[in-house]
C-alpha cells in the first residue's frame, strides 16, 4: 500500500484503536485477524522486539509476511530493535505499510526516515517515556507518525505513565506538527484512553484491553466510548 493511501485510511479512521498482535493467539492467526476485522478495527500493530534494544524477543519479518497475506488492513510495524536501518527494505517488502523506529536506537534519525520514505511507505519515530522530544524536532518534516511509549518498551501489561502525554502538545505545536498522526502505545485501556485523546492523540495501540477480553467488538466499542466521553468533557 502506498504511503498516501495508508495515511488516508488512518486519518479517516481516527480516533483509531490498533490491536497489538503481540498478545493474539498465533496458533489461530487467521481467525484472530478475521475477528479483529469483524470487530471494527481498521489497522493492526506489530511489535518487533530484538532482545537487545528491549529485554524481550518477539517476532520478525516472517510474521509480518504471514499477516500481510491474511488482511488488507494497514500494518503498523513498530521496530523496537537496534540498527533498524538495516531492515527497512525487508519489512517494507514483507508488507509493512507504516514503519516506526526508536530514536534511541540510532545515532541519527533522519537517514532512517529517508530510507523509509524511499520505499514508498509511511514512516515515523518512536520515543521511550524518558526521552525528550527535542531529540527529534529537526526531523519532523519527514515524520508521518509520532509514537510515544506510555510504558517502558519491552513487555505488555505495564502501568500507564501519564507524564508522557506532555510530549504530544509539544509535537502538535512544532513546525510541521499539525500534519503528523500522533500515536500512543502502552497501558491503553478504558481508564487511560480518554486522557490520551484529550491531548490530541489519533492512534491508540492496545493489547490487553482487547485480547484479554472475551468479545473484541465490545472491547473496541468500550474504548471508543471513552474517547467520546473525553470529547464531552472537553
Paired residues of 206 in beta bridges: 19
pTM across the whole model: 0.92
Average pLDDT of every residue of the chain: 91
Instruction: Name the pLDDT band for 233 (thresholds 50, 70, 90).
Output: very low
The per-residue pLDDT for 159 is: 79
The per-residue pLDDT for 155 is: 58
Q: Is 47 a catalytic residue?
A: yes
pLDDT in tens, 135-180: 898 899 999 999 999 988 765 556 789 999 999 998 988 888 889 9
Q: Residue 45: which of 12, 22, 61 has the closest Cα?
A: 22
Distance of alpha carbon 97 from alpha carbon 153, whole angstroms: 22
Q: Is 50 a catalytic residue?
A: no
Annotated catalytic residue within 139, 144, 185, 202: 185
Alpha helices per DSSP H over 153-206: 166-172, 193-198
For range 197-217, the mean pLDDT: 95
Q: Output the DSSP codes for 31-42.
A: HHHHHHHHTT--
Q: What percent of the chain has pLDDT over 90?
A: 78
* Interstrand relation of 203-206 and 44-49 (parallel, antiparallel or unpaired): unpaired
For range 106-134, the mean pLDDT: 95
The per-residue pLDDT for 63 is: 93
Distance of alpha carbon 94 from alpha carbon 91, whole angstroms: 5
The per-residue pLDDT for 154 is: 61
Residues 6+ apart with CB under 8 A from 171: 133, 140, 146, 177, 180, 182
The per-residue pLDDT for 50 is: 85
pLDDT in tens, 40-79: 999 999 999 887 777 776 788 999 999 999 999 999 999 9
Q: Grid coordinates standing for 35?
A: 475477528
The per-residue pLDDT for 229 is: 59
Distance of alpha carbon 120 from alpha carbon 115, whole angstroms: 9
Q: Grid coordinates standing for 54?
A: 528491549
Annotated catalytic residue within 47, 97, 144, 202: 47
pLDDT at 232 over 50: no
In the chain, the domains with their CATH numbers are 3-228 (3.20.20.70)
The per-residue pLDDT for 174 is: 87
Lowest mean pLDDT among 124-133, 140-149, 154-163, 187-196: 154-163
Asked whether 73 and 41 are in contact (CB, 8 A), the reply is yes
Residues 6+ apart with CB under 8 A from 129: 148, 149, 150, 151, 152, 161, 163, 164
Q: Grid coordinates standing for 217?
A: 467488538
The per-residue pLDDT for 83 is: 92
Amino acid at each position: 500500500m502506498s504511503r498516501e493511501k495508508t495515511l488516508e485510511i488512518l486519518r479517516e479512521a481516527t480516533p483509531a484503536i490498533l490491536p497489538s498482535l503481540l498478545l493474539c493467539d498465533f496458533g489461530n492467526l487467521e481467525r484472530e485477524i478475521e475477528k479483529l476485522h469483524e470487530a471494527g478495527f481498521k489497522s493492526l500493530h506489530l511489535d518487533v522486539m530484538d532482545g537487545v534494544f528491549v529485554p524481550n524477543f518477539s517476532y520478525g519479518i516472517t510474521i509480518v509476511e504471514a499477516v500481510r497475506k491474511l488482511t488488507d488492513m494497514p500494518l503498523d510495524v513498530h521496530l523496537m530493535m537496534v540498527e533498524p536501518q538495516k531492515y527497512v527494505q525487508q519489512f517494507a517488502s514483507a508488507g509493512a505499510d507504516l514503519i516506526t523506529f526508536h530514536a534511541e536506537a540510532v545515532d541519527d534519525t533522519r537517514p532512517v526516515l529517508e530510507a523509509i520514505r524511499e520505499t514508498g511507505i509511511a514512516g515515523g519515530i518512536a520515543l521511550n517515556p524518558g526521552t525528550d522530544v527535542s531529540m527529534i524536532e529537526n526531523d519532523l518534516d519527514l515524520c508521518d507518525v509520532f509514537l510515544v511509549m506510555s510504558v517502558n518498551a519491552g513487555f505488555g501489561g505495564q502501568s500507564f505513565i501519564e507524564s508522557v502525554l506532555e510530549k504530544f502538545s509539544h509535537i502538535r505545536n512544532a513546525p510541521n506538527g499539525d500534519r503528523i498522526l500522533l500515536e500512543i502505545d502502552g497501558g491503553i485501556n478504558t481508564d487511560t484512553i480518554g486522557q490520551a485523546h484529550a491531548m490530541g492523540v489519533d492512534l491508540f495501540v492496545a493489547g490487553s484491553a482487547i485480547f484479554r477480553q472475551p468479545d473484541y467488538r465490545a472491547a473496541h466499542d468500550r474504548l471508543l466510548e471513552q474517547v467520546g466521553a473525553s470529547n464531552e468533557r472537553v
